[in-house]
Amino acid sequence: MVRRVVGAAVALALLAVPLLGAGTSASASEQASNWWYDRYGVAQAHDAGWTGKGVKIAVIDLQINSKLPVFSDARLTVDHDPLCEDGTVESTVADHDTLHGSDITALLVGNGRGQGSVRGIAPDASVTFYGLGFPTCAQDARPGTQVGIAEGIERAIADGADIISLSVSLPSMNPGSIQAVADAIGHGVIVVAAQPNSTTGAEAATPYPMVLNGVVTVNALDDKGLLQRDADDPSKQDVWPEVTVVAAGVGFPSVNWTQRQSITGSSLATPLVAGMLADTWQKYPDATANQLIQSLIRNTGTTTHELTVQTNGIGYGAASLRHLLAVDPTKYADTNPLMNKASGKPTAAQVAAVEASPKPSASAATGAVAVSVSATPFVVGGVGLLVVIVALLVLTIILVRRSRRTNDEEHT
């Protein structure tokens, strides 16, 4: 198993490993499919008109190739101002950073064209991509400094996002990072974040923002309904006790335009949950963010049940698009039900203070532009790994992709 991460002394990349979990095999790349699309009844939801139209989703990730055919008619905007200094948000090189951001975004608004034939769960949602653009951010150690993911959250709030989808994470939480999440919750923005793909090793030490109060944390299921295997120890399942819900995320095809690949991880389950919420918000526009989260955790699975949470890695259960769409969330309390996590941060008082303050507006300095997409394929370049030497009094942020990918050697 090869797990590539960039941090203080580690290289950042996606996992390049066989999918050896329950119900898969060493040749799982042959089995890669968009099995989740039928399983969730996505086509039926779209036929009924629930496509996420009118809902704004922010994707905070690494890099993206917005020129791919899969995005040719998407309501996709790319903020070209990188969240990390000296970064580049757009790339046409099929390296790990670009594939990660492109795969995540395609699961939201893909049109089924190009490699992988990926169709989005919320194809009419308006998506803005905020790219770190650089695998390592240098953060001044002074309390309250905003950088990287926290900066992305604040930009998304100012730009009017309804939902934020995060499939990258950090090892530490300074006051500014915690405040960014408090700002999102207080301003009625749902934060959906991937949990680590392993309970040990470097990735397990990157808990922000999933451990924070109010955040919807997501893990991945395979097509048999089983939790994904631990990336560092495939003999066991990837179990985190504070997960909120689980969703499909094992054995998907990548949009990689140079070769066929199978990808796995909580990175993939996260945008699917964000998209389910977007479709539901379109149907029930009077619902609040808190009520949608209430509905998400109460309407898991396929049958009506009492609200129950488990610590075996399932959380409140398997997110269900059908069940969410069938229940009007406005009947639930307008309170965030996820404010009792072990971290204790942000506090209810922090969120209340934000609720009482005006919502920020987009800055004129924003680098966001709507993309004009060409279907022209691009030639792959070399895989780039960036290593940054950080001076004293600077904190290195480790960004971990919540996915794994396997090459399909039998196809060209």
Residue type, 283: K
Tokens of 129: 């991509």
Is the CB of residue 9 less than 8 Å from the CB of residue 23? no
Using alpha carbons, select from 342, 131, 334, 101 the residue that is nearest to residue 217. 342
The label of the residue with tokens 């690949």 reads 261
C-beta of residue 380 within 8 angstroms of C-beta of residue 130 = no
Bridge partners, 263 (sequence order):
252, 405
Rounded CA-CA distance 405/408 in Å is 10
Q: 39: helix, coil or strand?
A: helix
In angstroms, what CA-CA distances link 337 with 295, 296, 332, 388?
Answer: 10, 10, 11, 39
The set of catalytic residues is 61, 100, 267
Tokens 């995060």, residue? Answer: 166
Q: Which two tokens stand for residue 384?
A: 């780039």
Q: Using CB atoms within 10 Å of the CB of residue 258, give its burial: 0 to 12 exposed, 13 to 18 middle, 19+ buried.
A: middle
Which residues are CB-neighbours of 187 under 8 A, at least 6 positions away?
Answer: 157, 354, 355, 359
Element (H, E) at 365: none
